[in-house]
Amino acid sequence: MQVMNATQVRNEWSAVLDSVIREKPLFIKRTRDKMIISDLVTLESLLSAYSFHAEVFSEDDGSVTLSLDCIDLVENGRDLDDALIKMSKSILEYAVMFYEDFTYWARGDRTAHIPFVFKALVLNDIGKIGELIQCRLGES
């Protein structure tokens, strides 16, 4: 793997950014720390395999409840479309909250949420998020 030293990155910051945007992501090493810098198009491509999966439950009152698999979110709407809109909003709100306090949330059993959080943040659009929610019938 090609790795650039952090000091060199700092000294050539503008050229490094141009290279990352126009050419490819860059791996950086600083002492024991290793990181990657990338543009959002590449990040979106890396996250393309991730979608949101939810169980659909028909309620006695005719409403629909969605229960998201990857993140503990549940939303109820008057019909499936309403529940999908509410779930999409909840996913984006959760992603923003998670990112704002990343140090706290990105540890323990919530580390599995990270790709879904970044997926929602990169999309930043409840319509696009809603299109990625794959529903299956839940068991009552």
Q: What is the pLDDT of residues 41-61, one digit of tens each?
A: 999 999 999 999 999 999 999
Q: What is the pLDDT of residue 26?
A: 94
| Cα separation of the two ends of the chain | 50
Name the CATH topology of 46-137.
Double Stranded RNA Binding Domain (3.30.160)
Architecture of domain 3-38: 3-Layer(aba) Sandwich (3.40)
- For residues 40 and 140, which has the higher predicted lDDT (pLDDT)? 40
Q: Is the pLDDT of residue 140 over 80?
A: no
- Residue 139 has what pLDDT? 67
Assign 138 a pLDDT band (cuts: 50, 70, 90): confident
Burial class (CB in 10 A: 0-12, 13-18, 19+), 117: buried
pLDDT of the residue at 1: 63
Q: Where in the chain is the domain with CATH 3.40.1620.10?
A: 3-38
**Can you give the pTM of this predicted structure?**
0.87
* Side-by-side strand order, sheet with 3-5: 3-5, 26-30, 33-37
- Rounded to whole angstroms, the Cα distance separating 1 from 65 reads 46
Residue 35: φ, ψ to 5°: -150, 175
pLDDT (tens digit per residue) in 9-38: 999 999 999 999 999 999 999 999 999 999
d(CA 55, CA 33): 40
* Chain position carrying tokens 């549940």: 74
Question: Could you give the residue range(s) of every CATH 3.30.160.620 domain in the chain?
Answer: 46-137
Give 83-116 pLDDT, tens digit per residue.
999 999 999 999 999 999 999 998 888 899 999 9
Tell me the average pLDDT across 113-121: 96
What is the reported pLDDT for 40? 92
Rounded CA separation 29/21 (Å): 19
Q: What is the pLDDT of residue 137?
A: 86
